Chains A and B, each alone.
Chain A
């Protein structure tokens, strides 16, 4: 029997987290969220007007049903990320934050130094912090030591659809982690999500691959299945691939 995903004491049935950017309409976004079975929805604070009940994204997100996880996309240093997180909390969001510090607006790669700094400030401030990082096992441990609720290493750059390019490092992160590992970026196909889950990742976060698919709702369903298949395979216990065939009736089987 598999155990559900628990982040900072909170239980989630789904291991697929979804982003809300890049959709062709908020209606399509909502239908994709529904189809994915997700429990956690991340929203870029830069994209929303927190005070506006008619906001084009927030008005589609039922916070009784989904955990609204604000993210600090666009922040280029710790100070900006902290300011954004505080803004969200002051506006009534739960004190959870997906911490993104991405000084390069083109590749959106996370800044390890500023991320660590921001995590420290936000944790002292009482936030539940889920940091987006490179697949850097040492940084993951450093963040975990500070008290972050997860680590969220990238599979490949955000929006790149390139899959688990950082596989070897993510394996180390998973092996050493005591907090949930959420593979956060670059997953372009349900098979990529399955791969991450088969390796033992606790969850994955997907946005672009679903948002820009020909049929985002169907793709959300496909990712749901990919994540579930990968998880079940992990729980079932996968054998390592072997170079040679291993006969099911070995020749030396008679030697007891």
Chain B
């Protein structure tokens, strides 16, 4: 049994048709419920819900403040490598793009980590393309071990691994796993991933479960917004999160909202998602999943990010560099995508404060991931 079995109970096109058919009455019913169902999620994601967007935003705000408080957690990505054997048509690291490739040694990563630490961050996300021959699990483990004293939490957003490999990373102090499905639409998935290990839809879909079994404390999901119809993606994301919450009940689940940005290779999003639609998606998922962390990155512009702070988002990156070595030697390697919010972490923290929220740099402790009590 895996999430795939749950997913198969729903046909992509039927889900879309169902969502399109919802009325304002359906939406109001969903908004009135204390515990919305998967079926209610369809209503909240429907075109009809657009007219209830303010009400959804108010509800999302209330739920989030109650559960998480008036705080926004901050984290920074550290790009370890832009080597990649995949050919994801939308990605700047695509193997067929002629870009400068670089993999940081653990010592170089430490230098980057020190810079990130000095900026104030205590939560780190290690990011890499998929090139296991060049950047094997041992490389991440060694790097995490070196970085551990600088950070209270280290998560990875890297290629899917086997459970034993993930356990190995957990043993080296990595506490979180982020893995985007990119798209839940299998047919499309195979089209936008024409080559490389990433072509294997099921291997990727079941990755968060392998992460849960390996003992990661945080499991992060996401769909790349712009590849296909966001309403259906959001529905399957919601199902996926709910499935993981039940099955890996000791792990915190998060959802990110990566909206496709211009990148090398110049992929134009086939189904662009508007600001208004993204707000609908964020608030709908918040209403369905009161306890899930919702994450927004610097892919989004300052204006949009600032306004999303009270709408259900709980965690944000700031001052990000998306090329390996970018914090200490900017622009020497190719970035995965252009960031749209170039404000420094401290500038952004100030904005959070102005909005009446507390920027939180540390909400975890390395001591959780250490060895046995003597």
Closest residue to A103 on the B side, CB-wise?
B250
List the B side residues contacting A103 at CB < 8 Å: 249-250
* Given A104-B249, A211-B70, A212-B65, residue A121 in contact with residue B373 (CB < 8 A): yes
List the A side residues contacting B304 at CB < 8 Å: none
Contact B364 A22 (CB under 8 A): no
Give the distance to chain A from B289, nearest Cβ to Cβ, in Å.
9
B370: CB under 8 A from chain A?
yes
Give the distance to chain B from A61, nearest Cβ to Cβ, in Å.
15
Contact B365 A24 (CB under 8 A): no
State the CA gap A100–B372 with chains docked (Å): 18
Contact A48 B368 (CB under 8 A): no
Contact B250 A79 (CB under 8 A): no
Contact A83 B66 (CB under 8 A): no
Contact A212 B368 (CB under 8 A): no
Complex interface: stretch among B96-104, B166-174, B256-264, B352-360 = B352-360
Choose from B66, B69, B70, B152 the contact partner of A46 (Cβ within 8 Å).
B152
State the CA gap A82–B367 with chains docked (Å): 10
Contact A83 B367 (CB under 8 A): yes
List the B side residues contacting A26 at CB < 8 Å: 358
List the A side residues contacting B373 at CB < 8 Å: 79, 82-83, 121
List the B side residues contacting A79 at CB < 8 Å: 372-373
List the B side residues contacting A22 at CB < 8 Å: 65, 68-71
State the CA gap A208–B122 with chains docked (Å): 24
Contact B364 A159 (CB under 8 A): no
Contact B368 A74 (CB under 8 A): yes
State the CA gap A80–B175 with chains docked (Å): 14
A47: CB under 8 A from chain B?
yes
B252: CB under 8 A from chain A?
yes
List the B side residues contacting A74 at CB < 8 Å: 364-365, 368
B245: CB under 8 A from chain A?
yes
* B66-84 interface code vs A (CB 8 A; 1 in, 0 out): 1111110000000000000
B5: CB under 8 A from chain A?
no
* B263-280 interface code vs A (CB 8 A; 1 in, 0 out): 000000000000000000
List the B side residues contacting A211 at CB < 8 Å: 69-70
Closest residue to B70 on the A side, CB-wise?
A24
- Chain A at the B interface: mostly helix, strand, loop or mixed? loop
Interface size class of chain B, counting residues whose CB lies under 8 Å from the partner chain? 20 to 34
Kindly identify, within residues 149 to 175 of chain B, every residue whose CB is under 8 Å from any CB belonging to chain A: 152
Contact B372 A23 (CB under 8 A): no
Kindly identify, within residues 98 to 112 of chain A, every residue whose CB is under 8 Å from any CB belonging to chain B: 103-107
Contact A56 B361 (CB under 8 A): yes
- Chain B at the A interface: mostly helix, strand, loop or mixed? loop
B291: CB under 8 A from chain A?
yes
Closest residue to A108 on the B side, CB-wise?
B291
Contact B364 A46 (CB under 8 A): yes
Contact B250 A159 (CB under 8 A): no
B305: CB under 8 A from chain A?
no
B199: CB under 8 A from chain A?
no
A222: CB under 8 A from chain B?
no
Contact B362 A46 (CB under 8 A): yes
State the CA gap A46–B365 with chains docked (Å): 5
Contact B66 A208 (CB under 8 A): yes
B14: CB under 8 A from chain A?
no
* Given A46-B363, A103-B250, A105-B250, residue A80 in contact with residue B368 (CB < 8 A): yes
* B1-27 interface code vs A (CB 8 A; 1 in, 0 out): 000000000000000000000000000
Closest residue to B215 on the A side, CB-wise?
A76
Closest residue to A88 on the B side, CB-wise?
B367
A147: CB under 8 A from chain B?
no
List the A side residues contacting B291 at CB < 8 Å: 105-107
State the CA gap A51–B362 with chains docked (Å): 13
Contact A48 B362 (CB under 8 A): yes
Give the distance to chain A from B346, nearest Cβ to Cβ, in Å.
13
Choose from A47, A49, A76, A82 the contact partner of B250 (Cβ within 8 Å).
A76
B181: CB under 8 A from chain A?
no
Contact B365 A84 (CB under 8 A): yes
A75: CB under 8 A from chain B?
yes
Q: List 6 A-B contacts (CB under 8 A).
A: A22-B70, A23-B70, A23-B358, A47-B360, A84-B368, A103-B249
Please report A residues at the B interface, Cβ cutoff 8 Å: 21-26, 45-49, 56, 74-76, 79-80, 82-84, 87, 103-107, 121, 159, 161, 208, 211-212
Contacts A22-B68, A211-B69 known; list 9 others, CB within 8 Å. Answer: A22-B71, A24-B69, A46-B152, A47-B360, A47-B362, A56-B361, A76-B250, A83-B373, A105-B217
